[in-house]
Chain A
């Protein structure tokens, strides 16, 4: 019961801090002081108090988009195990639902973008759906590999299964998986090298350009949803990359939080030392990640 409460509290309250840490890391690399760690929370509070501007071309779809996207992401957050504890909702076959909830949220994010009739948002939507097509098989190759290792169809078993012993036994496969999943994590969350969340040119953006016309509370919902998605996919990554379980629930939670913060610093570092890829190169990297994950599956067949 305590674990369920902690799970919900961490999933609801923690995600914006990741954005704050990423921002701070990037500022440190650039030699600036940067915005405070809690800046994303202030932004959210401010946005929920702001008025909204709606384009005349928009319909109810524009308003429903962020709401449905956030709802689907919230459910995904309940399906994954955090900090070596079983998920709040867990059943056989939940990994497929997990993947498809992101499909649902993508559908609504992109049609909300198209609802504005802006060509920039059309571009963003087209890129989003195109790139995620290529990222999807990677996720499933990784899930099959992990399912085979843990002999289970339940996310809670699959993601808490990796242990130091497994890392030692099939390290190559795990390394490939971690690599492929990290690429997918960056692509799905529109981070550098796929997309620059801080860019100022609409022509080159992916996620940010889709939400150009959202304002006020709706934009707050979108920002929060994006942070939550980063948190959820980050947690999947951390579960596999950091196979440490002490057996003490509270220490496990602390390790998990710490690992998530390290992940945020890593993402910030990647964003500071890398440039954005040209748009035409992105599919190549995504297909590369798919092949890495296919290799991982092949290596566990022995």
Chain B
């Protein structure tokens, strides 16, 4: 049915449309029109892209496009296979939602930067389409750098803010370290294959050491972009300080590009060395536990969401690690369950994390702060955002009947199957790790939702918060519907991902069917429906009973204390204090206690409590302060006089010419 027109051309057209979507806005003298037009164009591109993705999934063969550009790196090759599709689906969906949302969230009449933001948002989305379609390493690096730099311009939209400037620098540093690793990796691949074109899948067999270097550099370059620990240090700050819809794009889509890079690189090899699977599994588990532990203590709404992205990336890596270990141990159940878990979680995280970041934008609009300890009681004032945010929170904790559970279910079944079958079930340890991570996630998101939306408002701003307009809630509604539908009827997700698992994991259809039959996909739907019916019946019975009985209003029980104030409520900080203390080895806190002379603190006495970021605050910042000091001597050759710089270039050229002789 799709054979008439090749779907790949739709993807390229969609990318072009998105890349150019912000351009008319720069020329129009009514910037708001430009913004509306851009949103319209991106939505059109999103529909085209999703259409192409579905076409490719249902078996329409993709075509490879070859552009003979004048650069000496071989022809630029572009094509989309099933691995690309799994990343393209959330990309187009989130890009469409975000661009509609941005019209009301970052309106041109309030923000002078709106034109620039719209332009770069389109370029950002388009560059990621090219990243997953490029089959030539130079083209790939170009798209990768455009993606990285447009993300920089997006996240520094509020460039006058010193915090934003700082995280911008950290981000640039992180992304360029990663790019350096990628240059090394692609150079090694070029040496090995003799061409810049990507090797065909399972065609590359390298000497052990070269393979090790290629994989390590890929893990540094791509893992850093994905936010894998310990290369995550740029992530919390960047996501927290970017405009919320940009955070949604970065977290929901851009982090996954790192995962794409690793999956693509691994697919080149005939056989991946045995240690790689265990390393990835370990890094994934480490990121998951540390990411959610960092999230648990946060007070900044968006920083918390950003740290939880590290956790989710960790879960995806656990899935990839299980699959690789499965290949090595000849355990097809690990391959299938791991890949299903990873791919389903990639889609799911795109849905619920974007939803939560868009929700955080609504909250920032309503209250003017990102501090959850200054919010409270917003469920009453935001009757639409509140349940949508609740759906996102439940989904991200992996609780049934929402979509987050489906991906984790596959990982659990894989791990416990390993516990049953394997002689030495090391991979089974994934199950308790996931259980711990799940428990911490429940804690974190109970805190997030409870402190923000429930209780009494903790500040004036929260007391006067307002609901967002329909252009902002509609995209959130769409994403929440996705979470709910995929969670209630998980068959949808499984059918979407099956061809990709079969393709990437090289699994034959019968084996796939045999293993997925161990995962309760259909029974889960039945239980979900039963749960909804039970809630409806018990809820209705309860409400009917309430009507018959006397009802009274009163203030909350405060141990007979009659005049409670909102400031007496538990805050987010106090909620997580106990856990943060238990996690002292992972999350370091910096407390400044006042010294108390009398029983009551004097006026103006303050207690401060901040979480420190281990890698950034304790390692990188001191190291770079030292490096900066050392380089102050080099400052003398950096004097800003142009003619001397030209002399440097000339001298360098002379050296380079003389060198070979």
Contact = CB atoms under 8 A, between A and B. Distances in A.
Nearest to B444: A129
Interface in A200-239: 202, 212-213, 216-218, 221
Interface stretch (A22-30, A63-71, A170-178, A268-276): A63-71
Contacts of B575: 122, 125-126
B436 A52 contact: no
A107 B446 contact: yes
B420 A115 contact: no
B317 interface: no
Contacts of B557: 55, 116, 118, 120, 212-213
B419 A71 contact: no
Interface stretch (B169-177, B361-369, B516-524): B516-524
B413 A153 contact: yes
Given A133-B439, A144-B416, A144-B419, A118 B524 contact: no
A199 interface: no
B152 interface: no
A218 B542 contact: yes
A153 B416 contact: yes
B545 A100 contact: no
B527 A89 contact: yes
Interface in A72-116: 72, 74-75, 89, 91-97, 99-101, 103-104, 106-107, 110-111, 113-116
Nearest to A203: B559
A140 interface: yes
Nearest to B533: A71
Given A89-B523, A93-B409, A136 B436 contact: yes
Interface string B410-432: 00110111011001110010011
Nearest to A93: B520
Contacts of A144: 415-416, 419, 425, 428, 431-432
A118 B577 CA distance: 17
Interface stretch (A8-16, A43-51, A247-255): A43-51
Output the residue of A89, A127, A140, A148 with the most chain B CB within 10 A: A140
A114 B454 contact: yes
Contacts of B456: 57, 117
Contact of A115 (B438, B454, B546, B578): B454
Contacts of B568: 119
A283 interface: yes
Contacts of A152: 420
A302 B399 CA distance: 35
A92 to B, nearest CB: 5
A133 B442 CA distance: 8
B44 to A, nearest CB: 38
Chain A CB within 10 Å, residue with most, of B423, B435, B579:
B435
Given A70-B538, A107-B446, A100 B549 contact: no
A92 B566 contact: no
A212 B555 CA distance: 12
A91 B523 contact: yes
Contact of A71 (B376, B431, B526, B538): B538
Best-buried of B451, B517, B575 by chain A (most CB within 10 Å): B575
B263 interface: no
Contacts of B550: 51-52
A120 to B, nearest CB: 7
Interface residues of A, number: 86
If over half of B's interface residues share one DSSP class (helix, strand or loop), that class is named, otherwise mixed; here it is: helix
A213 B438 contact: no
A129 B443 contact: yes
A61 interface: yes
Contacts of B436: 133, 136-137
A126 to B, nearest CB: 5
Contacts of A283: 582
B556 A57 contact: yes
A114 B520 contact: no
B570 A123 contact: yes
B398 interface: yes
Contact of B450 (A93, A110, A151): A110
B530 interface: yes
Contacts of A103: 397-399, 438-439, 442
A294 B425 CA distance: 12
Point out which of B409, B423, B428 has the most chain A C-beta atoms below 10 A from its C-beta: B428
A126 B454 contact: no
B604 interface: no
A177 to B, nearest CB: 14
Contacts of A185: none
Nearest to B532: A71
Contact of A117 (B399, B424, B527, B556): B556
Given A111-B454, A122-B575, A116 B556 contact: yes
B442 A75 contact: no
A75 B451 CA distance: 29
Nearest to B568: A119
A137 B415 CA distance: 13
Given A122-B570, A153-B413, A213-B557, A100 B399 contact: yes
Contact of A114 (B399, B434, B450, B551): B450
Given A71-B538, A119-B574, 12 more contacts: A54-B551, A61-B390, A67-B538, A74-B534, A94-B520, A96-B413, A103-B398, A106-B442, A116-B556, A133-B436, A140-B435, A221-B538
Interface of A: 48-61, 63-64, 66-68, 70-72, 74-75, 89, 91-97, 99-101, 103-104, 106-107, 110-111, 113-123, 125-127, 129-130, 132-137, 139-141, 143-145, 147-148, 151-153, 202, 212-213, 216-218, 221, 283, 290, 294, 297, 301
Q: Return the 4 tightest CB-CB contacts between A and B, nearest first.
A: A122-B570, A114-B450, A117-B455, A133-B439
14 contacts: A49-B549, A54-B552, A61-B454, A93-B409, A97-B400, A99-B435, A107-B442, A118-B556, A122-B569, A129-B579, A132-B439, A133-B436, A217-B546, A217-B549
Interface of B: 376-377, 379-380, 390, 394, 397-400, 405, 408-409, 412-413, 415-417, 419-420, 423-425, 428, 431-436, 438-440, 442-443, 445-447, 449-451, 453-456, 517-520, 523-524, 526-527, 530-531, 534-535, 538-539, 542-543, 545-546, 549-559, 564, 566, 568-570, 574-579, 582
